[in-house]
């Protein structure tokens, strides 16, 4: 039975596909987008998050720590990231959940046992299961086995993907999943690499395959001020998607919701701006001038 690292299972979700859904978030992503709002999803291994504002200074973490990474200073818990092994011993004993682990190894059957609890909601609402991340396709055989098991249960399956996936694996998913929530960040390969760490050649090949597959595909775009909202990029998107008769993009404007998670991982928060309502409306008008309607998700 295959296993993989899952960092969250969100039940009763309504924004990751039709109906009431359960979203399974697999840990690990081959891209490192400058604006990522889920930094705990990027690495493929479990990580410790320390929310200092929740700490009461009880000292339980110090007593549990095996690596000397936890200490007390003037009644406040401290974490030495260089010493921390992300073993999770402190998270197990923290009474206020100031320390939490992102990611745990699960088998396909363990995940399916959680999903089956919501099966009646899928049936009554026209919902199902969504696999996200990180990048779910990076879960390899574990991900493929989860999709296949969900299909065998008769559930609607959606995949929230950046498209950076070996083509052979992606074509296997195309044969099974019902819906693809497919991110597109930038049409220029060099700009894409600068923003995410990878160029977009593989992503665009998989996007073409998805759009030609007959499967339902929702085109999504994380919209970042000054990074990917230029006239040139919008024009290139309109030209590319127009060849497939696609004229709608779901946009996800920049936000700061992940700030506390960056702090919990001792990482600097990305230097990205947020749109004012007026600025966002002007960008949407530019999309419209190129024949692309936008929906905020």
Mean residue pLDDT of the chain comes to 96
pLDDT cut 90: percent of the chain above it: 96
Structure tokens at 132: 């996200």
For residue 276, pLDDT beyond 90: yes
89-126: pLDDT as tens digits: 999 999 999 999 999 999 999 999 999 999 999 999 99
Phi and psi, residue 272, nearest 5°: -120, 150
CA 108, 140, 197: angle at the middle one, nearest 5?
A: 135
Are residues 132 and 179 in contact, defined by beta-carbon separation less than 8 angstroms?
no
Q: Can you read off the two tokens belonging to residue 278? A: 């007026």
| 138 neighbors 165 (Cβ within 8 angstroms) | yes
Record the tokens describing residue 290, joined without a space.
């190129």
Element (H, E) at 13: strand 3-13
**Which residue, among 288, 173, 220, has the nearest Cα to 33 in the 3D structure?**
220
CATH of 47-102, one of 3.30.70.20, 3.10.20.30, 3.40.50.360, 3.40.190.10: 3.30.70.20
CATH architecture of 3-45+103-296: Alpha-Beta Barrel (3.20)
Please state the separation of Cα 6 from the chain's center in Å: 12
| pLDDT higher than 90, residue 272 | no
pLDDT category at 227 given cuts 50, 70, 90 is: very high
* CA nearest to 158, candidates 122, 120, 190: 122
Return d(Cα 253, Cα 228) in angstroms, integer. Answer: 11
pLDDT at 136 over 80: yes
Answer for the pair 243, 214: CB distance below 8 angstroms, yes or no: no
Which pLDDT band holds residue 271 (cuts at 50, 70, 90)?
confident
Burial class (CB in 10 A: 0-12, 13-18, 19+), 229: buried
- Domain-wise residue ranges, the chain: 3-45+103-296, 47-102
Average pLDDT over residues 252-258: 91
Please give the pLDDT value at position 183.
Answer: 97
258: pLDDT strictly greater than 80: yes
Mean of the pLDDT values across residues 68-88? 95
The yes-or-no verdict on residue 139 having pLDDT over 80 is: yes
Is the pLDDT at 186 greater than 90? The verdict is yes
The arithmetic mean of pLDDT across residues 23-50, rounded, is 97
- CB pairs under 8 A, 24+ apart, for 273-278? 273/225, 273/226, 274/225, 275/223, 275/225
Mean pLDDT within 4-15: 95
């Amino acid at each position: 039975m295959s296993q993989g690292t899952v960092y969250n299972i969100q039940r009763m979700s309504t924004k990751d596909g039709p109906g009431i859904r359960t979203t399974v978030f697999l840990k690990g992503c081959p891209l490192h987008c400058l604006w990522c709002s889920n930094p705990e999803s990027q690495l493929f291994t479990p990580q410790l998050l320390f929310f200092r504002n929740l700490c009461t200074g009880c000292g339980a973490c110090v007593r549990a720590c095996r690596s000397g990474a936890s200490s007390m200073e003037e009644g406040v818990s401290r974490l030495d990231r260089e010493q921390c092994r992300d073993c999770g011993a402190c998270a197990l004993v923290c009474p206020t959940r100031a320390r939490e682990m992102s990611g745990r190894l699960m088998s396909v059957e363990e995940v399916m046992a959680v999903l089956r609890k919501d099966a009646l909601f899928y049936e009554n609402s026209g919902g199902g299961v969504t696999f996200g991340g990180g990048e779910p396709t990076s879960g390899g055989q574990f991900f493929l086995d989860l999709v296949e098991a969900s299909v065998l249960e008769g559930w609607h399956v959606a995949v929230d993907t950046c498209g950076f996936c070996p083509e052979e694996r992606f074509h296997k998913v195309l044969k099974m999943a019902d819906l693809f929530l497919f991110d597109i960040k930038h049409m220029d390969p060099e700009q894409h690499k600068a923003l995410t760490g990878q160029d977009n050649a593989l992503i665009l090949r998989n996007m073409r395959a998805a759009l030609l597959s007959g499967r339902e595909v929702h085109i999504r775009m994380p919209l970042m001020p000054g990074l990917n909202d230029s006239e040139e990029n919008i024009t290139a998107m309109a030209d590319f998607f127009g060849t497939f008769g696609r004229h709608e993009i779901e946009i996800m404007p920049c936000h700061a919701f992940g700030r506390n998670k960056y702090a919990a991982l001792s990482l600097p928060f990305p230097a990205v701006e947020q749109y004012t309502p007026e600025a966002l409306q002007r960008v949407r008008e530019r999309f419209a001038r190129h024949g692309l309607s936008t929906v905020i998700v």
